[in-house]
Amino acid sequence: MADKAEMGLAAAIEELREELYAAQDKGAGQQFRFEIEEAQLELLLELRKDNKLGGKLRFGVADAGLDRTATSARTHKLTLNLKIKDKAAGGSNPEISHEEAGSWDYH
């Protein structure tokens, strides 16, 4: 994973994607399956301006930490509602479990 100070929006979405893959792998072979309809990703974003010679503006996920560089920053909250589609399943909503592992009926 990228250093939090350098993580941008694309990296945050990729991190969410990796977490969904991990949940899907852990759910394989389980009796209960969950269909993912939507994911909500909430980020605190900073627009920073470093007060150095030739300073620059940077847009990235906010992080906590201390440094000795004079920086001005504005923090913004961004909430994304993402509809998740599984390309491998023809564009349907993905499931946390790939396989049917059981039944509700106990005989």
Summarize pLDDT for 52-72 with one digit per residue, the tens. Answer: 655 555 555 555 454 555 556
Indicate whether 103 belongs to any domain.
no
Looking at residue 73, its pLDDT comes to: 65
Indicate whether 82 belongs to any domain.
yes
Looking at residue 1, its pLDDT comes to: 43
| 104 has a pLDDT exceeding 60 | no
SS3 of the chain = CCCHHHCCHHHHHHHHHHHHHHHHHHHCCCCCCCECCEEEEEEEEEEEEECCCCCCEEEEECCCCCCCCCEEEEEEEEEEEEECCEHHHCCECCECCCCCCCCCCCC
- Minimal CA–CA distance to 76: which of 55, 66, 61? 61
Indicate whether 95 belongs to any domain.
no
Rounded mean pLDDT, 3-28:
80
Number of domains in the chain: 1
- Which residue range is the domain that position 29 belongs to? 4-89
Indicate whether 53 belongs to any domain.
yes
Quote the CA–CA distance of 60 and 43 in Å, as a whole number.
Answer: 9
Rounded mean pLDDT, 68-88:
74
Indicate whether 98 belongs to any domain.
no
Statement: the pTM of the whole predicted model exceeds 0.75:
no
Rounded mean pLDDT, 85-93:
82
